[in-house]
C-alpha cells in the first residue's frame, strides 16, 4: 500500500538538493515513488510548490494527438491539433494525480517561513538504505500516513546518528 511521508528541512534549498538523491534511489530500485512534491515556504510566507508529475503537459500532449486524429478525419489537422492541445492542457490542469494539492498546501502553510518540505508518495521502500542516504540532509519527519507505531520507528531511525 502506498504511503505519504512529509520530510521537513531547515533551509529553503535543502528539499531541492534531496530531489536528485530521491530520483537516484528510485532508479537504483531502493524505492518506488508514485509522486513527489517539493514545497518552499518563503520568508514572506508564500508557498513555492513543484511536483514531479505535470498533468498539464501530459494532458496537452494527449489532447494534441487526439485533436490531430479528429482533425485528419475532418480535413483540418492543424486546427484539430491546436484545439486538442488546449483542451488536453485544461483537462490536465484540472486533474489531480498523486499527492492531493489541497493537502500539500495545508501542510506547506504550517511549515516555518524560510524552510522547505518534501512530500513523498511511496509504494515501496528499502527503509534502512534510504534513511542512511537521507540522513546527511538532516530531515525531520513532519507527517506520514503510516501507523503510529511505524511512524515512531521511522522518526527514531531518522534521528539516530549514523555509526562512526
- Structurally, the chain folds into a number of domains equal to 2
pLDDT > 60? residue 155: yes
pLDDT of residue 73: 59
On whether residue 152 sits in a domain, the answer given is yes
- Whether the pTM exceeds 0.85: the reply is no
Domain shared by 24 and 38, yes or no: yes
Domain shared by 119 and 155, yes or no: yes
Per residue in 56-94, pLDDT (tens digit) is 555 555 555 556 555 555 666 666 656 666 565 555 554
Beta bridge partner(s), residue 132: none
pLDDT > 70? residue 95: no
Look up the domain containing 119 and give its range.
3-52+112-159
pLDDT > 80? residue 43: yes
pLDDT > 60? residue 6: yes
Question: Grid coordinates standing for 18?
Answer: 534531496
CATH number for 151: 3.30.70
On whether residue 137 sits in a domain, the answer given is yes
Q: Where are the beta strands (DSSP E) in the chain?
A: 3-9, 31-41, 47-51, 115-125, 140-144
Mean residue pLDDT across the chain: 78
On whether residue 107 sits in a domain, the answer given is no
Domain shared by 13 and 40, yes or no: yes
Domain shared by 59 and 72, yes or no: yes
| Residue 15: Cβ-neighbour burial (10 angstroms; 0-12, 13-18, 19+) | buried
pLDDT of residue 113: 93
pLDDT of residue 62: 56
Amino acid at each position: 500500500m502506498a504511503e505519504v511521508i512529509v520530510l521537513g528541512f531547515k533551509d529553503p534549498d535543502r528539499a531541492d538538493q534531496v530531489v536528485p538523491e530521491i530520483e537516484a534511489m528510485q532508479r537504483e530500485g531502493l524505492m518506488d515513488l508514485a509522486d513527489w512534491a517539493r514545497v518552499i515556504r518563503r520568508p514572506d510566507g508564500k508557498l513555492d510548490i513543484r511536483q514531479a508529475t505535470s498533468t498539464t503537459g501530459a494532458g496537452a500532449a494527449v489532447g494534441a494527438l487526439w485533436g490531430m486524429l479528429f482533425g485528419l478525419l475532418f480535413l483540418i489537422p492543424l486546427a484539430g491539433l491546436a484545439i486538442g492541445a488546449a483542451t488536453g492542457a485544461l483537462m490536465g490542469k484540472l486533474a489531480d494525480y498523486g499527492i492531493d494539492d489541497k493537502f500539500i498546501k495545508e501542510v506547506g502553510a504550517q511549515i516555518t517561513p524560510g524552510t522547505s518540505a518534501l512530500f513523498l508518495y511511496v509504494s515501496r521502500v528499502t527503509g534502512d538504505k534510504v534513511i542512511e542516504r537521507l540522513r546527511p540532509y538532516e530531515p525531520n519527519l513532519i507527517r506520514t500516513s503510516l501507523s503510529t507505531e511505524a511512524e515512531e520507528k521511522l522518526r527514531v531511525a531518522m534521528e539516530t546518528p549514523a555509526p562512526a
